[in-house]
Structures are given as structure tokens and as C-alpha cells.
Structure 1
């Protein structure tokens, strides 16, 4: 009798175990179905909503930076994320510390704006090891798994320099405003050296530049000193400014000195820059640039690709547009939001967009 009961008990236990295995398999099948649905963007919203994103910036000055931040925040918020900006005041040690803080505070993802490999590589590797995705902009980083956005700096420099050479007939005296120590600047310098070799009759009579908390104001003071050193019309034919903060300072110095025969050719574009270029009282006449809001938006999109576990390129290059005063309306002031009406290729970049990202935005 006891043997019979034991045999019956073991049989019942076996049936129950088999039933639980079936239920478990059904549950797994449902999870896998949801995941595959997520690949098309249907279930991705739940996994990707509410992401906390750190934006680590080397230098946050001027309207270009403010519009770049605006683009980052706008795109992240559309995707349900929240951005916290860590400003480093051009202090690389502080930038490295900010990166460590973002890792320790367990942000879901990290965006980096400029910086050097020496300052950031250790922190970025630490983030990757902790499965925190990283997307950088204009930082010379080569860490496996990290995507770096960069403007086509060679083309930016070439567009502005070739227009300068064309306008001055391939000869004259120029001032270069440039600063070392930034990856995009180093790439622009390579193009500048090629330009010098190509146009031997264009002479560099002065070169200066420093990235400070008051770059435009400091550049203005330095440009005023250059104008004092070269006081005669014809002493300086043109200025090449490798950054819009440099161009703004130079434009104000030249305008105040009444030397607007000296034309300025720059790089980067913001609403403030556009106002100066449109104003005939200033001599900044052209600039090669990528829409700063687009840069921020594209950077966020690639971060979300990483959130979703997708492979992303090591380097994403952003192609510039070329903005000249002649292409802009004479009867009204416009903003960069309207610039696409007058400049081909400006704004509205679709880089990094996918159907599932658009679906997530709708959620």
C-alpha cells in the first residue's frame, strides 16, 4: 500500500514538473516575440524611455555651443530622455573629473563634446567596461565601441580658404586666427598648410589665437593690436578665422577701426554669427559650417542606436555647407532656422534617423 502511494506521488510530481517547464517555455517564447517586435521599434519604447544622459563639454561658450546643446536636448527629449550638462570651463582635468562623476552617478549614456584622448581615454574605457554607451563629438578618441562624430574639417577649411583666395585674386597678406590642442583645429591646420603651399603669393603676416572663457573679446583685443601694427590700407587683405568665436572678435575690431576693406572668412555658424554676416557694417562675409543643432541631434541618435544594442560606425562625418553674405536676403534678418531657404544642404539632417527612432518619438 505504501509503495503504491509513493509511486503515485512520484508520478504526480513528474507531471507537475513537466507542466511548469511548458509554462516556462511559453513565457520565454512570448519574451522573444516581444524582443523581435522591438527590433522594428514596436516594443523599444519601454526599454528606451527615461534614459538619463550626461553631456560632458570641454568648453561651453558662444551661441554655437548653446545651439548645439539645444539640439542635444531637443532630440533626447523627443525620445523620452533627459540631458544633464557638465561644463568644464576649458579645464581638461575638470573634464576628466566630470566624466568620472557621470560614470559614478550611473548615467545611462554619455555624450562628449571635444576634449583630448590624454584627458578622456581612461574614463571612456571605464564607461565602456561598465556598459555605458559613449558617443563623442570632435574628440580624438579611438576606443573600441565608441562612436566619434566629426565635422569634415578638411572641407570646412578648404571651402573658406578657397573663397578667400578667389576673392583676393590669389595674392595678398592675411592674418590667421587659430589655436592648437583641439582635434578639429589640428585637422583644419593641415588644410591651411596645403593652402599656403598652393598659393605662394598669399602671405601670412600674423597668426594668433587662444581659447578662453572670453574668446571673442580676447580676440578683439588681439586683432586691435594687429591693426595698429599694420595701420595702412593694403597691409592686410583678409583674415582667416578657424572658429566663429575668433571671427566675431576680429569682425568687431575691424569694424571699430574702420578697416572693413579687410574681409573675414570663418568656420561655424550660429544665429549671432548670421546677424554679423548679414550686417554690411561688418566685414565677415563667408563661413563654412554644419548646423550646430543638427550636430547635437545626430549625436543623440547614435547614442540611442547604442542603447538598443545596434552596431554603430567608429566615425560619423558631417558634411558642411557654405554660407556667403551674397546668398542671404538684403531686406530682412534671418535665423539659422530659416537658412535652409537660402543655403543648399543647411539643417534638417537625417543622419542617424531610422523608422524605429521615429516611432519612439511618436510615443
Structure 2
């Protein structure tokens, strides 16, 4: 057993997650460090208005920038914006919903021609979203159920039901029905709620006995959730699997399992999302994290930016866009000697979703 390897990888992942929220409360222009550079395809047609003249001013209003997923998402957003001759302002509310609503107002007042709103809550965001739409500003939402109160907004998301089904199919194949299991998730976050619907169906269909549900969504979800999962494990040690459908919650689960060495080799963990740090955790010796449902956050950020560009050019023919995930297993990573996101993209080129929200005039960024 090489336990220090998993501990080291987990420690690094938690440190990176804790330091991820560096943008502050105002618009920021500095680029995140150590991000994938991507490559830009050559467009085969001239850019339409408003992209055929001076740089186009857009903004992204994030609920939080903390964690591997959100850092990569912003990187993809930045690179695709640069390729489209967009000037991007970045707002980071650091998990504060009222601040995010205020920052949305700031973005509107700044003269942004298009705005991406990433995560948050519909109740606090809808007034600003509708204000922007009424002002003629294109608005694209990512992972917020917005259209009940802002029906004209473009809503984008990962295919969360597919993502959950891919992972839970694997969990069923691995551990079978009629098992005692644990659940680490948080209500009220749109993608996590969509994954929860699938989880509830699988638990009912397969007679999984959910002994605990715990977890916390904060700017430090992994470190804040770990002691909660630790307590749940100590009270319910006879489980065979845990579903934690967000990689920060998955990391918190792994950290909690490290505090319960008697459970080593007895509990399998099933997660969501992927990053180089996540891959390192999955392939570490004796790692319990055996499967995750994933998109490439860089590619998602780029695709959402392309969706905004299509809307601004009057060429988007839908108000709802979903991006397909894949299943990533520990066995596959080890068999193909995948150690980072570049290796994974080479093995799974569909992660680039380069055909999603694309057009012949868009220089598509791939990773």
C-alpha cells in the first residue's frame, strides 16, 4: 500500500481548491495561472456584426471562482473570448448571492454588450437578467434554472441527467443492488439538483439504503464537507459506496475516508467533474474514487462563450443548450496511462465538444 501518494495528491488538490478564488469582488483582467493554452482553429467565413469591427465588450458574472472546475471554466471562457475579439470583464461574487446580483448590475452599467451568468440562484439573479435583456444585452446563463422568471434568457448546462446516469450505472455494476450507501450532496444548486433527481430514481429502482446525506456548498466545499462526511462515516461504517456528484464534494469525501483507515478498500466513491488534480486522485494507489461523470470545463467555458457570440450575432436558434458528458473510470485511466487532462483529451477527443454552438465564422478553441 502506498498511502502517502493518495494523501499527497489529495492535500495538493485541497490547497489548489482553497486558493482558487482570487478574483475579488470587482471586475478582474488578470489571467489565471497554470492553465491550458488551447489551440484556435481558423474560421472559414468572415465574422458578422458586431464582431467585424472594434472589440466587443462582454462580462462573466460568477457566483464563485473557487475550485478546479471553475478555474478551468474561466480559462476556456477567456481563450474563446480572445479568439472572438471580445474584451472580457470578470466578476467573482465569492459565493455571496447578493454580491452576485450587485455585480450583475455593475456589468450592465459598464456597457457590456453580452453577459454570461455562471451559477447562482434564480431568485437573486432574475431581476438583473431581465433588466439586461430589456436593455438589449445578450444574456447566457450557465447552470441556473432561470427561465421560469426570465423566459427570454438563454440557458446552458451540462447534460446532468446523463452525467449522473453514466456514473450510477457504473456504481450499480460495481456494487450491485440492495446495498447500504452514502450520499454527499447539497440542495438548491441547479446542476446538483438535476443529478439528485437521477440519484433518487436509482436508489428506488435498486433498493439502495441511503444511510446518510451530508455535505456543504461553500467557497471551500471540500474542506468544509470533509468533517461532515467523517462524522457520517463514523456513525455508518457499513456502507459499500458513496455518491458525491461534484468534485469538491468528492475530494471532501476522500479526505474523510483518509480519517477512517478501517474502511480502506471497503468503500467505493463515485463523483462528477474532472481535472488534472482529480485524475491524480483517481489513479493514486488504493484510491477509492473509481468513476466520475465529466465534461472538460475548459471546453464548456469556450462553448458557452460561443453560445453568447451566436446569440449576439442573431444566429442562435434555441434558448436551451446542453453539453454532453462522458464516463471516466479509474480502470480506464490506469489502463491508458492517463495522468492529466492532456492525456485524457487525447484518449477522449469528444471532450472538446468543438461542434457545439459553432459556426463557420467562429475560430473555435480546443484543448
Taking structure 2 as the reference length, what is the TM-score of the superposition?
0.81
Matched-pair contact (CA < 8 Å) for 1:327–1:342: no
Mapped partners of 2:314, 2:54: distance in 1: 15
- Alpha-carbon separation, structure 2, partners of 1:146 and 1:331: 41
Which residue of structure 2 lines up, in the alignment, with residue 29 of structure 1? none
* Residue in structure 2 matching 1:208, options 204, 214, 223: 214
Residue matched to 2:5 = none
Give the structure with the larger helix fraction.
1
Which of 130, 143, 165 is matched with 1:158 structurally? 165
Deviation per CA, 1:119-140, whole angstroms, max 9, x where unpaired? Answer: 1111111111111111111111
- From 69, 76, 86, the counterpart of 2:81: 76
Give the aligned partner of residue 194 of structure 1. Answer: 201
Task: Provide the residue aligned with 2:38 in structure 1.
Answer: none
Q: Decide whether the 8 Å contact of 2:338 with 2:344 is kept in 1.
A: no
1:279-318 residue pairs with structure 2 within 5 A?
279-318=284-323
CA contact (8 A) 2:246 2:272 kept: yes
Higher relative contact order (CA 8 A, sep 6+): 2
1:286-318 Cα distance to aligned partner (Å, 9 max, x none): 100111111101111011112222234110011
1:144 and 1:346 mapped to 2: Cα distance?
Answer: 30
| Match in the other structure for 1:32 | none
**2:153 counterpart (143, 146, 151):** 146
In the alignment, structure 2 segments of 5+ residues that lack a partner are: 1-43
> What does residue range 1-363 of structure 1 map to in structure 2 within 5 Å?
41=46, 44=49, 47=52, 49-142=54-147, 143-200=150-207, 202-231=208-237, 235-258=238-261, 259-260=263-264, 261-329=266-334, 332=337, 334-343=339-348, 345-358=350-363
Give the CA deviation at 1:46.
5.6
- Is the 1:322–1:343 contact (alpha carbons within 8 Å) kept by the matching residues of 2? no
Separation in 1, partners of 2:269, 2:338? 20
User: For 1:117 and 1:180, how far apart are their aligned partners in 2?
Assistant: 14
Aligned residue pair count: 318
Residues 292-345 of structure 1 deviation map (CA, whole Å, 9 limit, x = unaligned): 111101111011112222234110011110000111135855222221333463
CA–CA separation in structure 2 for the residues paired with 1:138 and 1:204:
26
TM-score by length of 1: 0.82
Query: Structure 1 residue 43: deviation in Å?
Result: 5.8
Post-superposition Cα deviations, 1:28-53, rounded to whole Å, max 9, x if no partner, equal: xxxxxxxxxxx952565863541222
Please state how far the C-alpha of 1:116 moved relative to its aligned partner. 2.0
Please report the RMSD computed on the Cα atoms of aligned residues, expressed in angstroms: 2.1
Matches of 2:47 and 2:65, distance apart in 1: 37
Contact 1:56 1:86 in 2 (8 A): yes
Residues 173, 84 of structure 1: alpha-carbon distance in 2 compared, 3 angstrom cutoff: same
- Secondary structure of 2:242's match? strand
Q: Distance in 2 between matches of 1:305 and 1:287?
A: 31
Q: Which has the larger radius of gyration?
A: 1
